[in-house]
Amino acid sequence: MKQTLLKKGFTQKVKRLKMEKKSQAHVEMILSFTIFVGVLLIVFIFLNPFSKTQEKKSYKLELVFKSFLNETVLNAGKISVIIDSDDDCYNRPSKLGEKFIEIQDSANLRKYTLYFSDYFGIGGVSCSSRIKRNYTLGVYSKESLIIYEKIADLKSRYESDYNLLKQNLGILNDFSWSFKDLNGNEISLLSVSKEIPSGINVQTKEISMIIMDKSGRFYEFIFNLKIW
C-alpha cells in the first residue's frame, strides 16, 4: 500500500515536471518569436530599401528646388516709413544707399516700404515735392524676395542652353517648372517645358509663391517643379 502511494506520488511529480517543462518551452517559444518579430521590424525600419529610395528621390527634388531659389531670390534690406499727415513726406535714410524701390501701401497711403539692394536702380521718393518732413522710421530688417525678372532670366538660360544651365547649377536630373495664377492660368513668361519620356518616374513639388518685380508689384502664383 505504501509503495503504491509512493509510486503514485512519484508519477504525479513526473507529470507535473513534464507540464512545467512544456509550459516553460511554450513561454520560451513566445519570447523567441517576439524577439524575432522585433528584429524584423528593426531591420525593416532602418534597412528598408523602399524608404531609402523615397528619401533619396525627395532629397534630389529639394536640391533642384534649392538651386532654383539660389538663382531667383534677392536678399534686400527693408524699412518702413509712416508720414504724419498727407501734407508730409520723408527723407531717404542715406546710410542705406541710394539704390532702392519705394512701395506705397494701398490700404494706408501714409505708409511706404523701402527695399534696398544694388540690384535696383537709383530710387526716388514719390512725395519729395512736399515741403514738410514729419515721419517715423520703422525697424530695419533683411528680407528674401523672389524676383520676377530673375525667374524670366533663368527661363531664358534654360531655353537657350539647357545642358549648360544644368552644369552651372550642378543638377544631374532633368527638370522643368511652371507658374500659374490663382485661376489656374499658366504664366508663360516665367514657365518652361520639356518633354518627359513615357514610363519614367516623375517627382513634383507644388507651392504658393509671392513674387515681386523690379517696379515693386507683387504677384501670388502657384509654382510647380518637376524632376525625372
pLDDT tens for residues 132-152?
999 999 999 999 999 999 999
* Same domain assignment for residues 152 and 218: yes
* Same domain assignment for residues 185 and 208: yes
Q: What cell numbers appear for 212 in the block?
A: 515681386
- Asked, for residue 88, whether it belongs to a domain, the answer is yes
- Asked, for residue 27, whether it belongs to a domain, the answer is no
Which domain does 176 fall in, by range?
54-72+147-227
Contacts 24+ apart (CB under 8 A), 95-98: 96/140, 98/122, 98/123
Cα–Cα distances (Å) from 219 to 178, 185, 197, 208, in that order, read: 15, 13, 33, 10
- Asked, for residue 133, whether it belongs to a domain, the answer is yes
* Same domain assignment for residues 58 and 153: yes
Q: What cell numbers appear for 21 in the block?
A: 517543462
pLDDT tens for residues 93-113?
999 999 999 999 999 999 999
When divided into structural domains, the chain yields a total of 2
Q: What is the pLDDT along the chain (228 residues), one digit of tens a residue?
A: 545 544 555 556 555 655 555 555 555 555 555 565 554 555 455 555 544 455 566 899 999 999 999 999 999 999 999 999 999 999 999 999 999 999 999 999 999 999 999 999 999 999 999 999 999 999 999 999 999 999 999 999 999 999 999 999 999 999 999 999 999 999 999 999 999 999 999 999 999 999 999 999 999 999 999 999
The CA distance from 173 to 64, in Å, is: 8
The CA distance from 103 to 98, in Å, is: 15
- Rounded to the nearest 10 degrees, the angle between the axes of helix 148-160 and helix 49-72 is 110
Nearest to 81 by CA among 32, 115, 56: 115
